[in-house]
Amino acid sequence: MKRAVLITGAASGTGFCIAERFAKEGYAVFITSRNGDDAEKSAEVIRQTYGVYAKGLQISSDSMVEVDEAFDEVEKSGYYLSSLVLNAADLGMNMPVLTTDIDDWMRVITTNLGWNFKITQRAARLMTKAGGSIVFVGSNTANRAIKNRSAYIASKGGIISLAKALAVELGEYGIRVNTLVSGSIKTSRFDALSAEQQEEKKKRVPINDFADFEDIANAAWFLATDMSKNVTGTTLTVDGGADAQLLPGV
């Protein structure tokens, strides 16, 4: 069976690193982005670097048509979709409770929960043929809240519950569903900090370091493949121990 993975929000950053992890193992890779050109450019890098089938697909957060078109492309490819990694999200930044417009708040919920459900639904319909694995990328803020991001935090808490519900319902088809709960990651926002600021932030984590993209990619690989074939309906936390401590180190 020619196996494939579809990763949302994979044109760059964490999602792209996850795509590379699967490509290294010979998987066909479908990359989605809100921008189809960006997705295809990243797919071209995967093809040239790893010699596997890779295709970029556009999925906007407000287009059911694009979701259906993307999965039609997966079906036509001749590869079996055995893994889905839901990495894309609306970050819901700077949304104070007392002043945030309800439409803006609901946009985050719709993107992070509603559209992830729609994508999962289409993927699961394909996976009923021979099973598969679905991995939601969550956040430890679902357990440890921060200010001005209530919609994002609520959506990430909802994802953990949604994954459990889907695991129970889809288990009979051999489909596993889990959540990869991430903490702080060394993204471009982290890279933009001074060396001193980076060190101060890392001191807040028990192991004194944030996750690299590769840390998240390796965890996604574990959950999305037969390495975890008896694991479903649960969470794997990759946050350097931040969720285990009562208060930050500094």
| Residue spans per domain, the chain | 3-244
Local confidence band at 195 (pLDDT 50, 70, 90 cut-offs) = confident
User: Mean pLDDT over all residues of the chain?
Assistant: 95
Q: How confident is the model at residue 229 (pLDDT cuts 50, 70, 90)?
A: very high
Q: Cβ contacts of residue 119 below 8 Å, gap of 6+?
A: 8, 59, 67, 84, 86
Asked if residue 61 has pLDDT above 90, the reply is: no
**pLDDT at residue 120 above 70?**
yes
pLDDT over 60 at 175, yes or no: yes
| Direct distance between the N- and C-terminal alpha carbons of the chain, in angstroms, rounded to an integer | 51
Tell me the average pLDDT across 222-250: 92
Q: Which of 83-87, 175-179, 205-209 has the lowest mean pLDDT?
A: 205-209
Residue-wise pLDDT for 203-221, tens only, equals: 889 999 999 999 999 999 9
| Structural contact between residues 213 and 19, judged by C-beta atoms closer than 8 angstroms | no
Q: What is the mean pLDDT of residues 119-129?
A: 97
pLDDT exceeding 70 applies to what percent of the chain? 99
**Percent of the chain residues past pLDDT 90, beyond the cut:** 86
- What is the CATH code for 3-244? 3.40.50.720
Q: What is the mean pLDDT of residues 227-241?
A: 97
Q: pTM value? A: 0.95
